[in-house]
Structure 1
Amino acid sequence: MTKATDGYSLLPDEDEPYRSCKSKRFITKVMFMCAVCRPVFGARMGRPNLMERWAKWPDWASKEIYIQQDNVTPHINSVDLEFEDVANSDGFKIQLICQLANSPDTNILDLDLGFSRAIQTLQHEKPCSTVDELLGNVCSSYEELSPQTLNKVFLSLRACLTQILIFSGGNNYKVPHINKDRLKRTEGLPNALDVDEKLVRDVLEYLQLPENNAGGAYDIGPLSTAFGF
């Protein structure tokens, strides 16, 4: 409903805005469920809506899809028979994976990568005094964000994943800046970021050591075969 702290520009004789609440611990908050995917741009495509486009899935697009979720308790297990029945119908192969622990930079909605922050910035510009008004402000702020904003966040995710490879799965790195606004003005934003072949080989060797087999639930077989392991 409000932020714990806020800044205002006031005239010398202007009164400060009045706010009151029991304490910072009792500021009304609402949890939202949101799912996003990388925008696909074309002549008639804007922000993607997976549910609307499901029946119109293009023939050229892969039907092997990975859905990542965080590890909150209400989420279903990655091995859920009811989900698998639906996810493997109509030619689709949809796999559910969980975000790794202690890795907030792999969550596209996380504040560190900016999408939720971008929504919240717009939301805080809209006054509200009830929960219903808050819900409306958040939904309208989501709709106001351009798909280009989400696309830039996905590029930041790719850059973070590269750093995780460099640090052998660690999180002791700084979120890289790749000058997305400058790239957009000049040569255009890339669809993907290149990863050095030697880095991939080093990571595969690292993962094959018995003491580093924490990710055994993930199939790296095709990648290992492609690189001759």
Structure 2
Amino acid sequence: METPRVRRELSYENKMEVVTRLQKLTIMGKLVRGAISTTAKHMQLHRTTVSNVWEGFKRNSRMSSGKLGRVGGKKINTSSIVSTLVSEVPEEQRSTLRDISQATGLSMGTLSRRLKDGTIERKNTRLKPLLTDANTIERTAFETPPEVTYEFDAMWDVVHLDEKWFNADKDRRKVYVVKGQSIKRRAAKSKRFIPKVMFLAAVARPRHDDERGVMFDGKIGMWPVVKYLPAARNSRNRPAGTIVPTIVNVNAVLYRDYVITRVVPAIKAKFPSVNKRVVLQHDNATPHGAITDAILACVSTDGWTFVVQRQPPNSPDLNVLDLGYFASIQSLQNKVVSHSIDDVIQSTLASFEALSSEKLENVFHTFQAVMRLVLEHNSSNHFPLSHLKKDAKRRAGTLSANLSCPASLLG
């Protein structure tokens, strides 16, 4: 009777089972008579297959495959076919692999393998401010290096100001767990009730302070925009009348007060400057209109000179805080569980202090790269930000202080 063939090729486990049975049928290193036939009948294999397995084991006990390279049947959906099919699908229908599978007819397994081997890439897209013609002109004027040099200005005298909301928690959190481990329950009455605080931050480019003989980390300060008022009602956490932080709206009066009474004194106390001239850069938010050169002239005392510079409209990428430093603070702040406004204030300020000066210096390098990209793309904001490999260059000692700009972009 012909032996049924289950597979075209034996697995490693089947081969080792054949070898184990034959080893039991050896005497003084030689197989007993009929050992191969008996094993073939038991394993439902042809005796030639059993003999080949045994001879292969004697040559190489690791039983490695004799086939070289990629073997097996030809792939029906090659990389080029998958690339063609996926590229023909409208971009709005490519949010998930399941959407692509439905649009192309490719299986989820095929798409997953092509994602893993790099045929398909996952990229993120974010809404960017819509630029008017006037905006593009202002962006070009903002980035042009002074005196049309080949290197961007070091911006030692510029202090970047901006505000941002920081929440006690976020809606979605990614957590890695081991098999069988459950995730802690997180619940809230409403996302609107999650405590949040707005902060005003001021940073400058880090450098060595020659006058004090120390390293200036670039952190001027970060201030929560709150007022401490007595609680109007009792709660299970505190009685009425307890002084608690209360969120307030940022208007022109409040913003001017924060800049004059908090930002400027902090600059005078920390900022290293030979000529004591400081440029305050912020965006065009309505409350920011309260800060003018005339207002700053009132605090330009003790040899200090303060002037204001507004960045181009719809250009958050031209402020180092919006460009990446706020995101770095938030990534640290999200690692701490906050339950109240006080918790948010403490965790955010602690995250601000924990960030290294190298992180802020990296953002300033990215800022110069963005300015160069703005010139390269005719003042548009639709461009990918290339990886500058700042940390690797810093370790190798090849990181330049400022980025250069081709002369062709300055005409």
- What band does the TM-score fall into relative to the shorter chain? 0.7 to 0.9
Q: What residue number does 2:318 align with?
A: 106
Q: Is this contact kept in 1: 2:206–2:357, CA < 8 A?
A: yes
Greater share of strand: 2
CA deviations 1:101-121 (Å, max 9, x no partner) are 1212101111xx321111111
353, 373, 394: which one aligns with 1:163: 373
Greater radius of gyration (CA):
2
Q: Is this contact kept in 2: 1:65–1:94, CA < 8 A?
A: yes
Q: What residue number does 2:57 align with?
A: none
Deviating beyond 4 angstroms after TM superposition, the runs of 4 or more aligned structure 1 residues are 49-53, 55-59
Measured in 2, the distance between the counterparts of 1:70 and 1:119 equals 20
CA RMSD in angstroms, aligned pairs only: 2.4
262, 268, 275: which one aligns with 1:54: 268
Letter aligned with residue 292 of structure 2? V
Q: What residue number does 1:175 align with?
A: 385
Q: Does 1:65 align with 2:65?
A: no
Q: Percent identity?
A: 32
Give 1:136-147 correspondences, 5 Å limit. Answer: 136-147=346-357
Q: Does 1:19 align with 2:186?
A: yes
Q: How far did residue 167 of structure 1 move?
A: 2.4
Deviating more after overlay: 17-26 vs 148-157: 17-26
CA deviations 1:115-161 (Å, max 9, x no partner) are 11111111111122111011101111111111111001000001101
Q: How far did residue 189 of structure 1 move?
A: 2.4
Letter aligned with residue 17 of structure 1? K
Q: How far did residue 65 of structure 1 move?
A: 2.7
Q: Does 1:186 align with 2:396?
A: yes
Give 1:20-35 correspondences, 5 Å limit. Answer: 20-35=187-202
> Helix, strand or coil for the counterpart of 1:74?
helix
Q: Is this contact kept in 1: 2:216–2:272, CA < 8 A?
A: no
> Helix, strand or coil for the counterpart of 1:97?
strand
Q: How far did residue 26 of structure 1 move?
A: 4.2
TM-score under structure 1 length normalisation: 0.75
Measured in 2, the distance between the counterparts of 1:74 and 1:52 equals 21
Q: Is this contact kept in 2: 1:109–1:116, CA < 8 A?
A: yes
Measured in 1, the distance between the counterparts of 2:194 and 2:201 equals 22
> Helix, strand or coil for the counterpart of 2:201?
coil
> Helix, strand or coil for the counterpart of 2:295?
helix
Letter aligned with residue 115 of structure 1? Y
Letter aligned with residue 21 of structure 1? A
Structure 1: gaps spanning 5 or more residues:
203-229
Q: What residue number does 1:120 align with?
A: 330
**Matched length:** 197
Q: What residue number does 2:169 align with?
A: 2
TM-score under structure 2 length normalisation: 0.44
122, 125, 130: which one aligns with 2:340: 130
